[in-house]
Amino acid sequence: RGYFFTNRAGSQFLYTTLLPNSTSPDNIYAFHPDFCPPDNSHNKPLMNLPCVGGDNDANYASPRSRHTGGVNVLFCDGSVRFVKNAVDITIWRRLGAIADGNPPADF
């Protein structure tokens, strides 16, 4: 969303807080007061890019895609797989966790 030089949600990082292509808005750190209000260049719900501005480190951004029904996900082993929007939230979050001891089920 225009800020490639930060390590905040929605810039370089995506999260498994919400499912892929969630209709809920991303909670993105507001660099300035007008960062994600309606009709702002960063807030585009009709393009599947809804957002609200946040003011702390509990921000998150969901993976979003224009592919019908899901998103392409690059895994650390170099493989790319299509993950459906309706993936089980527990499995989705396990896919995003590092060494939590819980292997994800098939998705």
How many Cα neighbours within 13 Å face the side chain of 44? 7
Does 106 fall in a domain? no
Does 8 fall in a domain? yes
Does 104 fall in a domain? no
Residues of the domain holding 87 = 1-97
37 pLDDT band (50/70/90 cuts)?
confident
DSSP 62-95: ----SSTTEEEEE-TTS-EEEEETT--HHHHHHH
Mean pLDDT of the chain: 81
* pLDDT for 88: 95
Q: Are 89 and 96 in contact (CB under 8 A)?
A: no
**pTM score, two decimals?**
0.76
Element (H, E) at 53: strand 51-54
Does 107 fall in a domain? no
Tell me the pLDDT tens digit for each residue of 40-79.
777 888 888 888 887 777 788 888 888 999 999 988 889 9
Domain count, the chain: 1
Does 42 fall in a domain? yes
Q: What are the CA-CA distances from residue 7 to residues 10, 12, 16, 59 (Å)? A: 9, 6, 16, 11
Q: Cα(12)–Cα(2) distance, rounded to whole angstroms? A: 10
Does 103 fall in a domain? no
Does 102 fall in a domain? no
Does 105 fall in a domain? no
